[in-house]
């Protein structure tokens, strides 16, 4: 999920709204056409959001591997389904997790920068 967000720049609500049928792996593209907000499936936020997005072949390979290992892999299934319900996660829960992840990675990168700043470079 994080890889998809980083590579495509989609909103969390758009990622939660993805179904396998939205992907065209032969043409290496994805149709963003719905979002999930507060557990409700709806259209994307703006008319400009509903569009095809190109898929890098490496990202496509990651997604195909995810599909092989997922219990929910039929065309109508949600790509990131909650295992307990088969429905999309609430985007608010994912956003909280991503914020915590960003804080951790930001703190780590600051510490690494500080450590490297104190080293003599040859």
Residue 55 pLDDT > 90, yes or no?
A: yes
Query: Would you give the distance in Å from CA 114 to the centre of its chain?
Result: 31
- The percentage of residues in the chain with a pLDDT greater than 90, rounded to a whole number, is 43
What is the predicted pLDDT for the residue at 116? Answer: 47
pLDDT tens for 5-32 read 778 888 888 999 999 999 999 999 999 9
Domain 2-90, second-level architecture: Orthogonal Bundle (1.10)
Do 30 and 53 touch, CB atoms closer than 8 A? yes
- What does the domain layout of the chain look like in residue ranges? 2-90
pLDDT tens for 91-102 read 777 777 777 766
Assign 110 a pLDDT band (cuts: 50, 70, 90): very low
What is the predicted pLDDT for the residue at 105? Answer: 53
Do 58 and 41 touch, CB atoms closer than 8 A? no
């Amino acid at each position: 999920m994080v890889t998809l967000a980083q590579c495509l720049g989609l909103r969390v609500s758009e990622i939660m709204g993805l179904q396998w049928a939205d992907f065209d792996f032969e043409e290496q593209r994805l149709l963003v056409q719905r979002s999930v907000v507060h557990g409700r499936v709806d259209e994307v936020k703006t008319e400009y959001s509903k569009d095809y997005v190109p898929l890098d072949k490496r990202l496509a390979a990651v997604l195909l591997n995810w599909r092989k290992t997922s219990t929910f892999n039929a065309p109508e299934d949600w790509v990131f389904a909650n295992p307990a319900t088969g429905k999309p996660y609430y985007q608010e829960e994912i956003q909280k997790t991503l914020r915590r992840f960003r804080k951790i990675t930001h703190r780590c990168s600051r510490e690494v920068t500080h450590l490297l700043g104190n080293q003599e470079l040859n």
